[in-house]
């Protein structure tokens, strides 16, 4: 499918000139900063050199004072505290962060992760009953709980207090917990709405520190977990998340927790470790246990400091991740085959696929893979405990959560965000759901939303590309949603020599530009299909970002190609 290139709106020339002069940078770099809302020297300073002082006061969050007071009472009285978390990366890092931090102040603490296949997502009845039977007085629910109205009511009846730390969209009714911390609450005026689940848990611990005059440095020791959660949950890396990620990634590189260090080593990662390393190497290994066995295995690794244990746990997660990749590839191939064989699915505005033997742990990944190929809202479903359940993924510009909510009367359970959601339904409702979902998508999705896009920050000539430019761009990291790595475009680009196809999938090229002397080695991942276009074109247009390639101590600038078009 062809991408549409969208060149971002250029800022006012006068503003560009002023910022360029104030920061002593070229006008192209000033343009990129202005596109990110950075207009003054002080704003640039805050952006390039964020400080932990920029974190918001946790007590600005609705219910925070109540939550902190209840947590303090539990810690100071020796009450048993249960840390309850979801089974994905955000949930398991939340549990590791909260458990590790609170364990500095109390030994009366344990953690609980629901079984993905037996209990499902969120606060389960089984988990609540277990906590009550074991004598826990307080449960802190992380990355879940905002829609657990019935099971929190059960907890109340059993004498178990619950503090919810969630970042998902609330339903029509909030649970009657002791405190509900969620910046997405309609009645919450907290200044930043896009925290991860681990980020909300971090704010509770920050409030605990402030209330008890505990040095915040004790909490900052756990920022690497917060950074992993932010990167893996794909939340915007702006505002408070930028600060948390900036320092979390720093800790990941300089002094990571023992558990994360073991994952870094088994992944073969070398410093400097960035957001993409978390997303593609660390996160999937943490996720693998929850997808294929039980997420408590990931938590055990993340909180351990025993060298032998860590080696065994890391090896186990690495093996599970390899198994996950196999399931992912097989299921994706089957899903594509189903779409290609069905004329209706080929022309539909949405994709809803069901197969009873697909592995529940990979359906979200497969939905994303299908979107890469067909680019439309996609739901992949499988059988689970007599019900049908699965994951949904969306395209830019379409609110998936609202679309699924429109089908809520056909569902047993659902929850999520604008771009990703989970759901379950009874088998007899499947065909009605497929039809309704397609109707809702067809009615509400725009033609524009069905076309994949590449956002171009700026059109530049190759003379713009040098080590000084690369250094400044690299200081704009950590990159992620709402602060993406800048993508440039250049025209009149020529291929020097013979293009190489690597592993039948990737392109390796030497590129120059008409009228300019510079030549750059360039890589296009998954772009082997562009070879024919390159061979028949005298010159091409490329969309790319600039990267540093280091080999045997030799540093060169490399272009990472995102797309190629005929000139």
| Dihedrals phi, psi of 241, to nearest 5 degrees | -65, -35
Which comes out higher in pLDDT, residue 292 or 468? 468
Q: Is the peptide bond before 478 cis (omega within 30 degrees of 0)?
A: yes
Q: 208 and 101 share a domain?
A: yes
Q: Is the pLDDT of residue 148 over 90?
A: yes
pLDDT in tens, 418-464: 999 999 999 999 999 999 999 999 999 999 999 999 999 999 999 99
Q: Is the pLDDT of residue 492 over 90?
A: yes
Q: How confident is the model at residue 491 (pLDDT cuts 50, 70, 90)?
A: very high
Q: 429 and 464 share a domain?
A: no
Gap between the Cα atoms of 377 and 394, Å rounded: 4
Q: What is the pLDDT of residue 117?
A: 84
Q: 197 and 90 share a domain?
A: yes
Q: Is the pLDDT of residue 364 over 90?
A: yes
Gap between the Cα atoms of 369 and 353, Å rounded: 13
Q: What is the pLDDT of residue 526?
A: 93
Q: What is the pLDDT of residue 385?
A: 87
Q: What is the pLDDT of residue 416?
A: 86
**Exposed, middle or buried, 484 (CB in 10 Å: 0-12/13-18/19+)?**
middle
Cβ(408)–Cβ(433) below 8 Å: no
Per the structure, the count of domains in the chain is 3
Q: 214 and 273 share a domain?
A: yes
* Cα three-residue angle 216-221-226, rounded to 5 degrees: 100
Is there a domain that residue 14 lies in?
Answer: no
pTM summary value: 0.93
Q: 307 and 349 share a domain?
A: no
**Exposed, middle or buried, 1 (CB in 10 Å: 0-12/13-18/19+)?**
exposed
Q: Is the pLDDT of residue 64 over 90?
A: yes
Cβ(473)–Cβ(506) below 8 Å: no
Within 8 A by CB and 6+ apart from 328, the residues are 362, 365, 366, 369
Q: How confident is the model at residue 120 (pLDDT cuts 50, 70, 90)?
A: confident
Average pLDDT on 347-368 reads 96
Ramachandran sector of residue 386 (left: φ over 0; alpha: ψ -120 to 50; beta: rest)? left
Gap between the Cα atoms of 145 and 151, Å rounded: 9
Q: What is the pLDDT of residue 551?
A: 84
Strand partners, 391: 380, 422
**Percentage of the chain with pLDDT > 90?**
95
Q: 467 and 419 share a domain?
A: no
Q: How confident is the model at residue 326 (pLDDT cuts 50, 70, 90)?
A: very high
Check the CA dihedral 323-325-328-332 and report its sign: negative
Q: 59 and 86 share a domain?
A: yes
Q: Assign residue 425 the CATH number of its domain.
A: 3.10.310.30
Gap between the Cα atoms of 550 and 486, Å rounded: 20
Domain stop point among 450, 475, 495 = 450
**Percentage of the chain with pLDDT > 70?**
100
Q: What is the pLDDT of residue 521?
A: 97
Instruction: Give the tokens for residue 269.
Output: 């990662």
Domain stop point among 400, 427, 450 = 450
Q: How confident is the model at residue 467 (pLDDT cuts 50, 70, 90)?
A: very high
Within 8 A by CB and 6+ apart from 348, the residues are 376, 438
Instruction: Give the tokens for residue 392.
Output: 């949904």
Q: 233 and 358 share a domain?
A: no
Domain interval for residue 437: 342-450
Strands (E) located in 50-127: 81-85, 109-112
Q: Is the pLDDT of residue 331 over 90?
A: yes
Is there a domain that residue 36 lies in?
Answer: no
Q: 78 and 179 share a domain?
A: yes
Gap between the Cα atoms of 31 and 460, Å rounded: 12
Q: Is the pLDDT of residue 513 over 90?
A: yes
**Exposed, middle or buried, 461 (CB in 10 Å: 0-12/13-18/19+)?**
middle
Q: Is the pLDDT of residue 98 over 90?
A: yes
Q: How confident is the model at residue 550 (pLDDT cuts 50, 70, 90)?
A: confident
CB atoms within 10 A of CB 187: 9
């Amino acid at each position: 499918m062809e991408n549409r290139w969208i060149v971002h709106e250029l800022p006012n020339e006068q503003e560009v000139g002023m910022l360029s002069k104030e920061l002593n940078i070229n006008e192209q770099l000033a343009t990129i900063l202005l596109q990110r809302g950075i207009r003054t020297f002080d704003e640039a300073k805050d952006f390039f050199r964020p400080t932990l002082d920029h974190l918001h006061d946790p007590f600005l969050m609705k219910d925070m004072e109540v939550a902190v007071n209840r947590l303090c009472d539990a810690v100071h009285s020796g009450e048993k505290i249960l840390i309850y978390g979801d089974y994905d990366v955000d949930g398991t890092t939340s549990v590791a962060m909260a458990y590790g931090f609170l364990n500095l102040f109390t030994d009366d603490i344990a953690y609980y992760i629901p079984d993905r296949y037996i209990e499902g997502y969120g606060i389960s009845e089984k988990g609540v009953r277990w906590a009550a039977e074991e004598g826990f007085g307080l449960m802190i629910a992380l990355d879940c709980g905002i829609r657990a109205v019935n099971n929190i009511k059960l907890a109340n009846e059993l004498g178990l207090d619950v503090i919810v730390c969630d970042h998902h969209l609330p339903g029509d009714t909030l649970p009657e917990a002791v405190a509900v911390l969620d910046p997405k609450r309609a009645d919450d005026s907290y200044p930043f709405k896009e925290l991860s689940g681990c980020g909300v848990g971090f704010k509770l611990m920050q409030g605990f520190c402030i209330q008890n005059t505990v040095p915040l440095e004790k909490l900052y020791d756990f920022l690497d977990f917060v950074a992993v959660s932010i990167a893996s949950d794909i939340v915007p890396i702006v505002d408070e998340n930028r600060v948390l990620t900036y320092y979390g990634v720093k800790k990941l590189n300089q002094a990571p927790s023992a558990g994360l260090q073991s994952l870094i080593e088994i992944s073969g990662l070398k410093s400097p470790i960035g957001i993409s390393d978390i997303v593609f190497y660390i996160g999937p290994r943490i996720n693998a246990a929850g997808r294929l066995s039980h997420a408590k295995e990931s938590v055990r690794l993340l909180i351990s400091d025993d060298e032998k244990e860590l080696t065994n746990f890391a090896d186990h997660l690495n093996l599970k991740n390899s198994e996950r990749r196999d399931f992912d590839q097989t299921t994706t191939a089957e899903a594509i085959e189903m779409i290609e064989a069905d004329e209706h699915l080929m022309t539909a505005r949405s994709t809803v696929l069901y197969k009873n033997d697909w592995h529940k742990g990979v359906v979200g990944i497969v939905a994303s893979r299908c979107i890469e190929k067909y680019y439309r809202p996609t739901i992949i479903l499988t059988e689970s405990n007599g019900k049908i359940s699965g994951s949904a993924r969306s395209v830019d510009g379409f609110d998936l959560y609202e679309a699924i909510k429109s089908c809520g009367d056909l569902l047993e359970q659902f929850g999520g965000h604008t771009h990703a959601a989970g759901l379950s339904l009874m088998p007899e409702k499947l065909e009605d759901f497929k039809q309704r979902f397609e109707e809702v998508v067809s009615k509400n999705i725009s033609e524009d939303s069905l076309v994949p896009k590449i956002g171009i920050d700026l059109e530049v000539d190759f003379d713009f590309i040098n080590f000084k430019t690369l250094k400044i761009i690299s200081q704009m990291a950590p990159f992620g949603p709402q602060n993406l790595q800048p993508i440039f475009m250049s025209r009149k680009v020529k291929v020097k020599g013979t293009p190489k196809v690597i592993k039948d999938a990737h392109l390796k090229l030497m590129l120059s530009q008409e009228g300019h002397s510079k030549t750059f080695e360039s890589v296009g991942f998954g772009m082997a299909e562009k070879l024919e276009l390159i061979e028949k074109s005298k010159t091409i247009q490329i969309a790319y970002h600039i990267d540093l390639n280091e080999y045997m101590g030799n540093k060169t600038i490399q272009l990472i190609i995102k797309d190629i078009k005929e000139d």
